[in-house]
Amino acid sequence: MQDSGTTASFRGIDSVDGTIAWASGTEGTVLKTTDGGAHWQKCPVPDADKDGAVLDFRGVQAWDANTAIVMASGPGDKSRLYKTADGCSHWALLYSNPDRDGFWDSVSVADRQNLMILGDPVNGKFSVFNTADGGKTWDRTHEAGLASNTKEGAFAASNSSLVADWVDGYVAFGTGSPSGARLFRECETCKKGLIWTASPMLSFPEGEAAGIFALELRDWRHWIATGGDYTKPNESSGTAAWSNDGGEHWTASTTPPHGYRSTVQWSQPLKLWITAGTNGSDISRDDGRTWQPLDNGNWNALSLPFIVGPQGRIARLNPAALPPKR
């Protein structure tokens, strides 16, 4: 465990290299470390002279110790994107949600120029915004393939509902609804061309608080989806599934994580997956087929080696404490 110096609830974390990392959360909170988490510096609140202190920063993406963006999630224009280029001494507003009924869930960054934002449905379609000039101008995707079901939405639990492989051209996001979870995919190299398609994810439970909360891939073939029902944190069934064909077909984990999971990440150095949620974390060494418990902490989001949660919780993974291979 590390000393964050705050009681804010964190849902955003981005580790640049294990030494430099940024975290974000409630009450306009943004932190950064440049010494591997030994010390966390509290940044000035973006738009502190206006309403910045009420913003909930659910996502953060960074390039170095000076440059980062933070995404606020909230109704209407309480969903915003800010950027700093001077180590968070100053913040500039990049984009504000144009939809009064909208709510942003996740942001993905390819480089300093290309960014993508996912938001909940507005007028029956999921909101996807793109910029190719660093946020100066934004384009909204207008496609029939983004049509939503009744009470369907994505989740802003960890900035993990949207995943983009900018190299191979894969973009996907997961949802949940009373009629079940779905996976939306856009693929430049797929046979159908560059269009959005949606498919049911039967491995996950139905409900307004249930579905896919996090997506991740370690290469274009191997994908993991985690989630469950947020209101049933200790329910293990329907919390993880895996694909080994680029997201075309999915199989529920034979031994799932030991509860609802809001975040998942592949560790190349450790050759394993880690997933976490409000009742702890689990690891998988076989691409999501089976999981074994790692801890019982209360967590929201991962960016290895760091993990964050409510009440100012920040911790750094100790590889020596990982359970042995079965």
Distance of alpha carbon 119 from alpha carbon 65, whole angstroms: 28
- Fold classification of 10-321 (topology level): Methylamine Dehydrogenase; Chain H (2.130.10)
Handedness of CA 110, 20, 31, 308 (dihedral sign): positive
User: In this model, does residue 326 exceed pLDDT 90?
Assistant: no
| pLDDT on residue 167 | 78
Q: Check residue 122 and give its pLDDT.
A: 97
Give how far Cα 90 sits from Cα of 58, 135, 244, 261, Å. 19, 17, 43, 34
Contact call for residues 315 and 2 (beta carbons, < 8 A): yes
* Out of 157-161, 191-195, 202-206, 239-243, least confident range: 191-195
Instruction: Decide if pLDDT at 188 tops 90.
Output: no
CA-wise closest residue to 11 among 259, 258, 214, 254: 214
Instruction: Provide the 10 A C-beta neighbour count for residue 37.
Output: 22
Per residue in 150-185, pLDDT tens? 999 999 999 999 998 887 778 999 999 999 999 999
- The predicted model gives 104-128 an average pLDDT of 96
Which carries the bigger pLDDT value, residue 191 or residue 260?
A: 260
Listed in sequence order, the residues at least 6 apart from 44 whose beta carbon sits closer than 8 Å to its beta carbon are 88, 89, 90, 91
Q: Could you read off the pLDDT of 273-293 as tens digits, one per residue?
A: 999 999 999 999 999 999 999
